[in-house]
Amino acid sequence: MNCKKCGKEMSIQEKFCSECGTVVGNSESVDELRKPLKMFSTITFLVVIVLFFMPFVNFSCNGKNFVSLTGIQLVTGTTLESGYGQQSVPGSALAFFALLCPIIGLLGGYFKGFGEFKAKGIRKVLALVSVAGLVLIFVLKSQLEEEAIKQGKGMFTVDFPTVVWFIVFYIAAISVNAMLAAKE
């Protein structure tokens, strides 16, 4: 028996060509073997998008929480009501791009590629998009901490209840897409 792709002679028991890696015989196709990883990649990007709807940052003074902002509020901006009147919180470009990264990742997972830029290239781009999203989350967190210190003159404390989950899922997305890129 010969490999259908490269023509190398093979035994009937072999499931993969040792020369080019093509699946042969009755074994599952490579796409079938990669489906769970691709699904996991899609799920990680979906979870990151959902996390933007959860409280991203909590501001407190003397241990009492006085405002929580979701990632979406950081993207779009919002107006806060307090005993001192209304305070406008403008949208953040960093938050916008941090949200754009998982959206690109989610859509990119369904893109098949074209010409020389096939699935392997797409998976590399998705891994890079995940790295960019992770970096943006860290920069946004740092920026919010600095702003709270500056505005509150050291009286405010800031905590980030979902940031650890952003990190976990972005690292998962980076890992999965890097593995898929290496295997395609």
User: Is it the case that residue 152 has pLDDT exceeding 80?
Assistant: no
Quickly count: other Cβ atoms within 10 Å of residue 141's Cβ.
19
H/E run at residue 153: none
User: Is it the case that residue 118 has pLDDT exceeding 70?
Assistant: no
86 versus 103: which is more confidently predicted?
103
Is 12 within the bounds of a domain? no
Q: What is the mean pLDDT of residues 36-65?
A: 83
Average pLDDT, the chain: 79
Question: Which one, of 63, 75, 73, lies nearest residue 101 by Cα?
Answer: 75
Residue 58: which CATH number?
A: 1.20.140
Q: What percent of the chain has pLDDT over 70?
A: 80
Is 3 within the bounds of a domain? no
User: Is it the case that residue 27 has pLDDT exceeding 50?
Assistant: no
Domain that holds residue 143: 30-183
Rg (CA), the chain: 23
User: Is it the case that residue 17 has pLDDT exceeding 80?
Assistant: no
The pLDDT assigned to 123 comes to: 73
How many domains are contained in the chain? 1
Q: What is the mean pLDDT of residues 161-170?
A: 82
Is 11 within the bounds of a domain? no
Is 173 within the bounds of a domain? yes
Q: What is the mean pLDDT of residues 86-99?
A: 90
120 versus 115: which is more confidently predicted?
120
The pLDDT assigned to 77 comes to: 94
| pLDDT-wise least confident of 33-37, 58-62, 114-118 | 114-118
- Alpha helices in 12-70, H assignment, sequence order: 30-51
Q: How many angstroms separate the CA atoms of 60 and 158, rounded?
A: 6
